Chains A and B, each alone.
Chain A
Amino acid sequence: QSALTQPASVSGSPGQSITISCVGTSSVVGNYHTVSWYQQHPGKAPKVIIYEINKRPSGVSNRFSGSTSGNTASLTISGLQAEDEADYHCCAHGGSRLHWVFGGGTKVTVL
């Protein structure tokens, strides 16, 4: 079992909002202040879109937002666009043994 669990897929229509969950085991919950999210289009390198739970790097659309609640981190994409169709990966620090841990990734489909 991965220390971070994401749904395999999420879909939505253009203009809608979708939320991707990232559920952590006890080894990573305490480090949720380190949560980051990465967008990866097919055949491309990942790109950071959220870091430190809810901060956006310069140039990333404000349609992307992050949050945490309990042992779950979430990425919300509002005003879904065709270009948002990609894989999304959450990541957090898992402590001194696991170090950095990724979720299994979520494929977002724009219907």
Chain B
Amino acid sequence: QVQLVESGGGVVQPGGSLRLSCAASGFTFSNFAMHWVRQAPGRGLEWVTFLHVDGRTQFYADSVMGRFTISRDNSKNTLYLQMHSLREEDTALYFCARETSPTTPFDSWGQGALVTVSS
């Protein structure tokens, strides 16, 4: 079955960097667009970024534009989120999610990777 497993979370100081990974299995990863969605403690969901199957078309939320970069390695069935200049407000559980179609953006989710930005 479809499985998405995030890793790479941890505690980082403000201004620091972190890279999250999302290992995909149970489906042909290269055929699907992917997203990162985050959830701050006790808060709702916030869409973060999108990457098309072409590996080039990317969109970002204004809150992370210029600081975060999404990428994928289809040979490793892995999605990445490189985060720089982290702020305390980036503290959240980060989920990767698979897109089935442009109108069904998040049909499968991982369990999330916790990122804590604190001094």
Residues of chain A whose beta carbon lies under 8 Å from any beta carbon of chain B: 33-34, 36, 38, 44-48, 51-52, 57, 89, 91, 93, 99-105
Contact = CB atoms under 8 A, between A and B. Distances in A.
Interface of B: 35, 37, 43-47, 50, 59, 61, 95, 102-107, 109-112
Nearest to A53: B103
Contacts of A102: 37, 44-47
B89 to A, nearest CB: 16
A48 B106 contact: yes
B61 A104 contact: no
A36 B106 contact: yes
A24 B49 CA distance: 21
A45 B103 contact: no
B47 A45 contact: no
Nearest to A89: B45
A49 to B, nearest CB: 11
17 contacts: A34-B103, A44-B111, A45-B110, A46-B45, A48-B104, A48-B106, A48-B107, A91-B105, A93-B103, A93-B105, A99-B59, A99-B61, A100-B50, A102-B37, A102-B46, A105-B43, A105-B45
